[in-house]
Amino acid sequence: MTSTAPSRPVRIAVDIGGTFTDLMILDARDGIARAWKTPTTPEDPSIGLLRGVTEASERFGFALPEVGLLLHGTTIATNAVLERKLANGVLLTTAGFEDVLEINRHVRRDIYGLSPDPFPTLVPRDRRLGVPERMRADGTAEIALDEAAMPALLDRIAALGADCVAVSLLHAYANPAHEKRVAEILRAARPDLPVSLSSDISPEIREYERTSTTVLNALLVPVVKAYLDRLEARLGEGGFHPLVFLVQSNGGVCSLRMAAEQPARLLLSGPSGGALAAGRLATLLARPNLVAVDMGGTSFDVSVVQDGRVAVITQGEIDRLPVRLPMVEMRTIGAGGGSIAAVDAGGRLTVGPRSAGARPGPVSYGRGGTEPTVTDANLALGRLDPDFFLGGMMKLDMPGTRAALDARVGGPLGLGVEQAAEGILTVTNANLGAAIRLSLFEKGLDPRDFCLLSFGGAGGLHATEVAAELGITEVAFPREPGTLSAYGILFSDLTQDIARSRVMRAEAGSLPRLGETIAALRAEADARLAADGIEAGRRRIAIAADMRYHGQAFELLVPWGEIASPDAGDLAALVEDFHAMHRQRFSYANPGDAVEIVTLRAIATGLLDKPEPADPPPAGRPARKGTRRVFEGGAWREVPVWDRDAMTASDLIEGPAVVEEAFATHWITRGWTASLGAAGTLMARRNTP
């Protein structure tokens, strides 16, 4: 499959967020990747997407029929879950197991709380119906499927007015025969009714997580399909008819067909683009260890690239609902430019997780906000130019900001405005540093071995100070940091994950069963890539294993490369990798203990063309814009201000300094220097004594 042709040389990546729709456009004719932003249209995000593409075509001089590939990250699935705008669904499960969703894992997040908040259950009890059947864990049937009971279940589904059905039968991961027969009966009687099978969505052990994932998928099918139908209906407008792929939680893209059938794979669609970009930049910058931080208006996302690989986990959650599907590992805290600063009843300064959002937003936006935020603190200290916010598209209210800081923080704490603003940034930076530290420490990693990759609209104002707190000596500020997630999507590949839970000892006697399972996984992976139109030479299939010591209740995901027919040596190497990973993660390993393989996975990748982008020429104006008064080191000082778009490789910035670009501002702390590096990245380094 080729993604561009001479007549269709333009590739577009789109990341639809809650406030803005971000686009990155790569035209193969000049090789320059260009950024564009347009307001999101929540009532129908496809409207904003098409409007953004049209605006970009007018701005950058390409015709809509010249777009050959559209890579689309979206928060449609995420927002539908968070806002509970889901379909009306029914769950079919093995009779006697209708309450698995409510029993869940008995986890109490607040162990001292007298009234714990119950975990959400998306399907009420009267919509969870039992199917007479039972499969054993070894895949043999203990109770055959009672097909005579199905007509009554069909009547009950119709009476409940179901828009979709989730089917999660006991041990269907070991033998899906009963689930598939139930689906055949449902589809024969109701071909209009979407049916999601756990053996298709998440064929893995652990009933609660598998059922939760299947239910989420089922309830999302009508929502996502409606959006995709609207999108496809608009794609022909103005001759705009590109090949479209959607971004998944694992960082790869999938076809519209797969997205419509398995929308649960889109739950981290948008944020995964930033991790993709981090993985690409790790190679371009020759920095195999990156900790990537995305700080926007509301949240702060942390992902880790180690040895050039983006960390992927096999289970995550959204709004306390477990999702057992591969996804980019990410830690998120409520700390962004719009995070609200307040003084609590005990006289303690807090920042976040409450956010001012986009409306009314920070006080400085002048839209009615009254509570000071992190953005307001940066403005009050002079780090932001009130006349050049968003490249001059918005003017900021300095007098209102200072008044709010004085009334809400300075006055209650007996501090001046500048000291109050510094206190807000100190607390914020401590929170950011703690999130990064935890993301690395839990993996047994030392922050000092990493370069910090800072992006998002607000990240550049905090990166060097947070890095210094962590002992990190190098910070990378990528070009167009406000649209970096779209940049990552621009260079993604088509990816499918296939899993088979097969619990077995990692020993020579298991090799025949291992070989059989891997062969089946590889065959299915190859068939899926072929169905998506990927040419044989562009298919890559890697194997990984979920492994644990016998008796453990959790597993580690261990890569096994492109293995096809493992022998005793291959298995021994896999076990040794597991011991090493366990030692790094938990500071110990037990080489003498029995090791189990719980689940085998195939990661099927269809390689898409990736034109190498060229660096845009620097703007024809002086790189140093002048100076500005900034409160630094306890006093107001004249600090140099640099124009990022006009800089060349010969320019050297010495902190303290401000670097400005259209959609971001960067603060270079005293004791740091910065200059342009590979791919136009601004590299800041801490001076050694």
Write out pLDDT tens, residues 163-177. Answer: 999 999 999 999 999
Whether 416 and 345 map to the same domain: the answer is yes
Considering only residues 688 and 556, tell me which one the structure prediction assigns the higher pLDDT: 556
φ, ψ of residue 533 to 5 degrees: the values are 80, 20
Can you give the pLDDT at residue 2? 45
Can you give the pLDDT at residue 104? 86
Whether 67 and 153 map to the same domain: the answer is no
CB of 630 closer than 8 Å to CB of 656: yes
Distance (Å, whole) CA 154 – CA 100: 22
Write out pLDDT tens, residues 610-649. Answer: 777 777 888 889 999 999 999 999 999 999 999 999 999 9
Can you give the pLDDT at residue 270? 67
Whether 420 and 505 map to the same domain: the answer is no
CB-count burial class (<10 Å; 0-12, 13-18, 19+) for 95: middle
Structural domain contains residue 615: no
Can you give the pLDDT at residue 564? 94
Share of the chain above pLDDT 90, in %: 72
| Mean pLDDT on 317-338 | 86
Write out pLDDT tens, residues 50-63. Answer: 999 999 999 999 99
Whether 211 and 89 map to the same domain: the answer is yes
CB of 581 closer than 8 Å to CB of 556: yes
| Mean pLDDT on 449-475 | 95
- Domain of 587, in residue numbers: 494-606
Write out pLDDT tens, residues 491-533. Answer: 889 999 999 999 999 999 999 999 999 999 999 999 999 998 8
Q: Which of 75, 65, 60, 66 is nearest to 14 (CA)?
A: 75
Peptide bond into 656 cis (omega under 30): yes
Strand intervals (E) in 424-493:
451-455, 474-477
pLDDT at 20 over 80: no
Q: Can you tell me whether residue 105 is helix, strand or coil?
A: coil
Whether 121 and 157 map to the same domain: the answer is yes
Structural domain contains residue 258: yes
Q: Can you tell me whether residue 342 is helix, strand or coil?
A: strand
Whether 534 and 590 map to the same domain: the answer is yes
Q: What CATH number should be reported for the domain holding residue 36?
A: 3.30.420.40
Q: Which of 541, 564, 555, 562 is nearest to 597 (CA)?
A: 555
Distance (Å, whole) CA 667 – CA 416: 22
Nearest 5°: the CA angle 472, 473, 474 is 100
Structural domain contains residue 277: no
Q: What does 629-672 look like in DSSP terms, one character per residue?
A: EEEETTEEEEEEEEEGGG--TT--EESSEEEEETTEEEEE-TTE
pLDDT at 556 over 60: yes
Q: What CATH number should be reported for the domain holding residue 573?
A: 3.30.1490
pLDDT at 352 over 90: no
Can you give the pLDDT at residue 570? 97
Whether 507 and 550 map to the same domain: the answer is yes
Write out pLDDT tens, residues 298-325. Answer: 788 899 999 998 888 898 888 888 999 9
Whether 118 and 209 map to the same domain: the answer is yes
Whether 516 and 602 map to the same domain: the answer is yes
Average pLDDT, whole number, for the chain? 92
Quickly state the pLDDT bin for 227 (edges 50, 70, 90): very high
CB of 279 closer than 8 Å to CB of 305: yes
Quickly state the pLDDT bin for 12 (edges 50, 70, 90): very high
Whether 93 and 76 map to the same domain: the answer is no
Can you give the pLDDT at residue 33? 87
H helix or E strand, kind and range, residue 667: strand 664-668
Whether 207 and 110 map to the same domain: the answer is yes
Distance (Å, whole) CA 213 – CA 321: 8
The dihedral built from the CA positions of residue 254, 459, 283 and 66, taken in this order, carries a sign that is positive
Structural domain contains residue 332: no
pLDDT at 88 over 90: yes
| Mean pLDDT on 185-208 | 96
Considering only residues 45 and 658, tell me which one the structure prediction assigns the higher pLDDT: 658
Distance (Å, whole) CA 623 – CA 642: 6
Structural domain contains residue 281: no
Can you give the pLDDT at residue 29? 87
Structural domain contains residue 451: no
Structural domain contains residue 312: no
Read off the pTM.
Answer: 0.84
Can you give the pLDDT at residue 312? 86
Into how many domains does the chain fold? Answer: 4
Strand partners of residue 5: 8
Structural domain contains residue 408: yes
Share of the chain above pLDDT 70, in %: 98
CB of 446 closer than 8 Å to CB of 394: no
Can you give the pLDDT at residue 6? 67
Whether 89 and 76 map to the same domain: the answer is no
- Rounded to the nearest angstrom, the gap between the alpha carbon of residue 677 and the centroid of all alpha carbons in its chain is 26
φ, ψ of residue 409 to 5 degrees: the values are -125, -55
